[in-house]
Amino acid sequence: MNDLLAALGNFDTQLYLAIAAQRNFVTSVIAVALTYLNWDGFFWWILAFLLLRSRGLNRRGIAATGTVVLAMLTSWGFTEIAKLVVRRPRPFDALANAPGPLPAPETVIAHPSSYSFPSGDAALAMGAAVAFAYVSPRYRVPVLLLGVSCALARVVVGVHNLFDLLGGIPVGILFGLPASWLVEGSRIYFVSRLKGRVFHAGLGGAAVPADLKGVLVPLAALLAFPHAANSEWFSRLMRGPRLGDRRTTGPRVIVSRVRRSSQGFLN
């Protein structure tokens, strides 16, 4: 295993040096521009504000904007924690401390002080891009291309290896895809809790309090296994308890409301 990891590390270093050798003035300028646009999510915060302004300060606009912000923050936060666990040095530091005669190429921007793997900027860009593409399908292609470009720019400027991006990009996708469900599901749950009810028993207006697990377990199951929605066990899980001669609504109501609401703030 150690030999395999060492071989992958050497291959990654050779890719880094090859990309640095092909760098020119034009690619450097474009990479620096993308890097600073993506710095701390600067450009994505602007897009989120424009999204809120276009949709309006209402449930639809707040939900769409919250989806982008949630995907961006959770993607970046996860990678920052993962960096402390993996503790991979930056490529310029690794080359400077390597015993071989490999010269470390100059970076186009200042040296970051954090660890390298996975790339937090790549995860942030892809998380925001995937979430924005979901809430605004009209701009799906240019936004996703921008996210990938911001990620690749981190290698061109010399502060990441290519494998760092392969660790950060999937993180952004994984956190960006369910962001809209989490935002809308949280809104429905907490609004229902504030009202003091989620499932109406149909018995003289009596209300049955909702258990948090009764909402999150079906949602998690549907997200993880979308094809299981037609299975018998999933139907039993989504079914509510019998009270008298009438059946209360189960967590299926929450799932259906999340589906309808998440579609409601799409273009």
The pLDDT of residue 15 is 82
Residue range 217-227, pLDDT digits in tens: 555 555 555 55
Q: Residue 162 carries which side chain, given as an amino acid letter?
A: L
pLDDT lower than 50: segments of the chain:
197-213, 215, 233, 237, 240-250
- In this prediction, residue 151 carries a pLDDT of 92
Report the amino acid identity of residue 226: P
At residue 99, the pLDDT reads: 65
- Which runs of E-coded beta strand occur in 14-170? none
What's the pLDDT at 2?
67
- Closest among 59, 31, 12 to 260, alpha carbons compared: 59
Q: What is the pLDDT at residue 260?
A: 56
Give helix then strand counts, H and E, for the chain.
Answer: 12, 4
- Yes or no: say if 242 and 202 are a contact pair by the CB < 8 Å rule: no
- Tell me, what's the pLDDT at 186? 78
Q: What is the pLDDT of residues 121-144, one digit of tens each?
A: 999 999 999 999 988 888 889 999
